[in-house]
Structure 1
């Protein structure tokens, strides 16, 4: 990966592939490693840009909290530094919040957007989910145990009922060479739980796909519907299978939907 300074912090990124530029923005506490499975397939059609968000991976971990607008400003500045814009972008979960902020405040750097398993603002259930995750991390619980505890929120019963598959997926957390620190996770979480894009979504002018799975229990379909109704340029697509981690559990359908929207070509 390469490094540059944006907004006063050192930010790591990688650019690879061939084709129109596509920016991938990961979720809460996740670095660019979240795209390890998806990026190689997307590189067949795009020049893929992956980033470690502020507080994750090899990017700097300044004192928090980090607002979602901070993360959006970082990413927009990176696109401008690279000189590849306007770019298409996919934002997954927290990455979807970052992308909403970019759509609102930095639309000039974006050509198309995909909001993947996104939400406009936190609900009481999401607050409770986040409180539990923070408590586990603050207790020093093993990363694999934390991953297993979160699995039912991210995957469907099809995967979660297969305990061998759950264990294998959770064990991947041990392979991260640059795991997110508690400080980085807390700083992102503090900004995420208070972010509310709804007042400004009607100003968005960039073509946007709001993509989710019918089985997402963490960011339910109703939240994607709300986003799509507020963005004048939005298209809503609900895949019949898949939860919050559908890009991992159902990669064929998810990546096909993303690629078809961004290229306008059906497979």
Structure 2
């Protein structure tokens, strides 16, 4: 599978299908791998990727610090995920594209569209992550990781990462850089020797920067209200993908199209067709 160096970081990606480009920010929280479009939860059940690739050039990728993509030890914000997506499109030679996000990928899509509105032909925001329980859970995950670091040290995080295939979402002790610790020995060495005081500041700031509100993070509401990019919103329905998150985006995005269908009634028969109907219209 090909890789591209984007913003100085290796990005693993895959291009399938033919037609207008569709950049797809993967679902999966801190395990946002390209395979999740075919293997994770509702996305596996709906079969979106095979259907979309029949008419669109689908660009899927491992988000930085996920899967086989690389990373950097720094305070991450949505602008870093924007740089990865924009850089990948530049690498592939596309100056305009449709954007699609699943779960937390919706926040990156919104941030990319706000930063580069002329780039975005339209946005599909599938099961946007957000809501008060989502924010609380994310902050607790970072706090649990820092508690482990204070007790055991950063070298213990490296050793733990090498003994498991789990990620930050399922085992908070591992922290957000676990995949890179497994795949990049030089990064792991630098991580283990990093100043723990500086590390705590970095991680605390990252938690606050990424999850700063009780709805969908990624872009300010005033910027969304000024965004002239067509959007299809498909709600989720659990603690991490609150229906209120989808309603918030409907309120903020001018002329947004909310497909208000409960998750249980979103099927392989109707969901891909609804997404294709939106894309084909724009």
Structure 2 alignment gaps of length 5 or more: 39-43, 149-159, 179-202
TM-score relative to the length of structure 1: 0.72
**CA offsets per residue over residues 189-218 of structure 1, 9 Å max, x none?**
6643134522311121111111114x3442
**Residue of structure 2 equivalent to 1:258:** 275
Once the two structures are TM-superposed, the CA of residue 99 in structure 1 deviates from its matched residue by 0.4
Tell me the matched-pair count: 224
**CA offsets per residue over residues 73-94 of structure 1, 9 Å max, x none?**
2101211221133111211121
Structure 1 alignment gaps of length 5 or more: 150-180
**Residue of structure 2 equivalent to 1:8:** 8
Could you say if the C-alpha distance between residues 203 and 257 of structure 1 is closer, same or farther in structure 2, counting changes exceeding 3 Å? same
CA contact (8 A) 1:23 1:90 kept: yes
* 2-structure distance, mates of 1:41, 1:189: 36
Could you say if the C-alpha distance between residues 15 and 142 of structure 1 is closer, same or farther in structure 2, counting changes exceeding 3 Å? closer
**Residue of structure 2 equivalent to 1:65:** 75
Alignment of 1:60-99 (within 5 A): 60-99=70-109
**Residue of structure 1 equivalent to 2:176:** 183
> Which of 122, 136, 142 in structure 2 is aligned with 1:128?
136
**Residue of structure 2 equivalent to 1:230:** 252
* 1-structure distance, mates of 2:89, 2:102: 18
> Which of 33, 42, 47 in structure 1 is aligned with 2:35?
33
Could you say if the C-alpha distance between residues 112 and 234 of structure 1 is closer, same or farther in structure 2, counting changes exceeding 3 Å? same
**CA offsets per residue over residues 128-174 of structure 1, 9 Å max, x none?**
22245554898769849x76x9xxxxxxxxxxxxxxxxxxxxxxxxx
**Residue of structure 2 equivalent to 1:24:** 24
Could you say if the C-alpha distance between residues 203 and 253 of structure 1 is closer, same or farther in structure 2, counting changes exceeding 3 Å? same
Once the two structures are TM-superposed, the CA of residue 101 in structure 1 deviates from its matched residue by 0.4
**Residue of structure 1 equivalent to 2:235:** 212
* 2-structure distance, mates of 1:58, 1:8: 15
Which deviates the most, 95-104 or 221-230? 221-230
> Which of 109, 114, 124 in structure 1 is aligned with 2:124?
114
Could you say if the C-alpha distance between residues 263 and 51 of structure 1 is closer, same or farther in structure 2, counting changes exceeding 3 Å? same
Alignment of 1:43-54 (within 5 A): 43-54=53-64
Once the two structures are TM-superposed, the CA of residue 65 in structure 1 deviates from its matched residue by 2.4
CA contact (8 A) 2:111 2:218 kept: no
Once the two structures are TM-superposed, the CA of residue 228 in structure 1 deviates from its matched residue by 1.4
CA contact (8 A) 1:65 1:190 kept: no
**Residue of structure 1 equivalent to 2:211:** 193
Once the two structures are TM-superposed, the CA of residue 56 in structure 1 deviates from its matched residue by 0.8
